[in-house]
């Protein structure tokens, strides 16, 4: 018998936003000395500490600016904000799963926005 779970809500977060949220969780855990931190939580905190580059506010501004572009949807904007690609090849890898490819000018337009934040 298979049990299905219904997705009630979904929200994208940048790694920087997740770092901020996990810092709050980590702080709460530190106050409760009897509770040991779960392995998955510890790994998630380690991950965001290693890969979060921007401030949460900056990452949200970057996503908002990217979403204004015609070829960048919300999910892709969050990927770009997390990865901060530095050149066309890195940026192309973000779009590799899409059914379309971007022109050099479109890639450069995205990279120009990323450079302002990186």
| pLDDT score recorded for residue 33 | 67
Ranked by mean pLDDT, which of 7-16, 66-75, 93-102 comes out on top?
66-75
- Tens of pLDDT, residue by residue over 74-112, are 999 999 999 999 999 999 999 998 888 899 999 999 999
All structural domains of the chain, each given as residue ranges with its CATH number in brackets, are 15-51 (no CATH), 56-117 (1.10.150.80)
**Does 6 score more than 90 pLDDT?**
no
| pLDDT score recorded for residue 5 | 83
Of the candidates 22, 29, 19, the one whose C-alpha atom is nearest the C-alpha of residue 52 is 19
Q: How confident is the model at residue 34 (pLDDT cuts 50, 70, 90)?
A: low
Q: How confident is the model at residue 4 (pLDDT cuts 50, 70, 90)?
A: confident
Query: What's the 3-state SS for the chain?
Result: CCCCCCCCCCCCCCHHHHHHHHHHHHHHHHHCCCCCCCHHHHHHHHHHHHHCCCCHHHHHHHHHHHHCCCCCCHHHHHHHHHHCCCCHHHHHHHCCCCCCCCCHHHHHHHHHHHHHHC
Give mean pLDDT, residues 23-33: 80
């Amino acid at each position: 018998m298979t049990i299905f779970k219904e997705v009630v809500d979904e929200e994208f977060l940048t790694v920087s936003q997740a770092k901020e949220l996990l810092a709050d969780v980590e702080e709460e855990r530190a106050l409760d000395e009897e509770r040991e931190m779960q392995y998955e939580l510890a790994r998630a905190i380690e991950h965001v500490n290693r890969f979060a580059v921007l401030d949460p506010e900056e990452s949200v501004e970057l996503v908002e600016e990217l979403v204004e572009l015609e070829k960048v949807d919300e999910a892709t904007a969050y990927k770009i904000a997390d990865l901060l690609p530095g050149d066309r090849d890195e940026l192309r890898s973000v779009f590799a799963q899409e059914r379309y490819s971007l022109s050099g000018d479109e890639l450069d337009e995205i990279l120009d926005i990323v450079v302002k934040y990186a």
